[in-house]
Structure 1
């Protein structure tokens, strides 16, 4: 099994891969597009990519890629994100003038950074582990990175502060992707409920159209877990809607809902049916 992920070794995405496929051969990718293409082109069997963080919101570009590439969602995994501030040996909090990391990680630590390093500027990087590697190679005690403890150990950095995320309930939801032509079995616990992800556009942007599209689920007591909108490229003022709904696409109630949805929507596509994951907290599972 080969599994693609965005970032370098030591990234949180590597941890997500190991949660699902502990013995897989890793395929680190520079960009999200590279990871999507690796699965779609057969260079990797699977990809594990972030879609949402509990503190900083959705990874919007990956919603766009889900529609653009011929892939299917076969699972998800929730990873607790514990950020560390790390720098070359000898650095102190007072010496740090620049903090480098992925924009998502910086956003998840905004308040902590204001308190810990109020004079330091932030610099975006392509991924957390890549930022750690760059800081280690640069060797400048005024430059630090936000990444995992695993990244600090891999690249020989000193952890100056740990658990600097603004809220301890900091989780990133990762999707497990396979090629759409791969008849892959959904992964996850056998007793976990199914959820189905879809995307569609409204046929007409008229009053009540979005309400009617959502009503097809409410009328059948189907639980909508999430709705996300993205601009429809080439059609200003129109949007794509991504929905997560409890149930399997082959369930009769969902099939009938999709049939009704097509009356008011166009370009309806099922992105995948898969087992929902649980979030584990220190006090037990969060359903």
Structure 2
């Protein structure tokens, strides 16, 4: 099974669009895909894929209730099917209180546990929920999209997936510079006490300036895997948010004329998804069928 968290410390680098379009690319390759949206902000992946209609419904069952051991129904009922068969567990406003609710649960669990040395595993609750729901036997790919801030949302995502895909802007500005990527990974590993693999760094919104080419060279020299470089596609991505769909659906259903550079971007998402799958030996069913037919 391929599992990864899409994360960047810097905002505005296309984290959510990379998550959504990679998920769709995996599904188009024939994989069963589950995406978990852990970003409490409006305009998260749930909005992009048009499944955020119960975000503000207080009585609705949601992922947080399952993480704190107070589910109102089976895990399967949280899942919403979206375009190209991608399953999504949508975000909910209760995610804004995840830290508070996990801390309250920790207090209760530690106070009532007979072992005086017991420590509630606050960052392992998403992993527990996924394991109990038998997600690995039901899906080929799991993608988690947390907010762009450190904390229980991110830590639970990483403990469950153990892998990172890092979208980034090739710029000297912002919190996350090329030189700081390894420090970011080292810090997360130290916080969680686990090894975290970086499956890919994904430069996004690249305009091809000389400075950006230098940053790209630096990124590769530092040893980061850069399978694709996604050029500046502002119009395409704005269209996706406007129509609430992936780039694949936007080009297929909302463009009267197919633009070669946009088709190139779709191909890059497919290349990225294939590269990520290859990292764990996950073969595309579509590729396997083509080889048999040949």
TM-score range (shorter-chain normalised) is under 0.3
More strand by share: 1
Calculate the TM-score normalised by the size of structure 2: 0.27
More helix by share: 2
| Max Rg structure | 1
Determine which structure has greater relative contact order: mean sequence separation of CA pairs < 8 Å that are 6+ residues apart, divided by chain length: 2
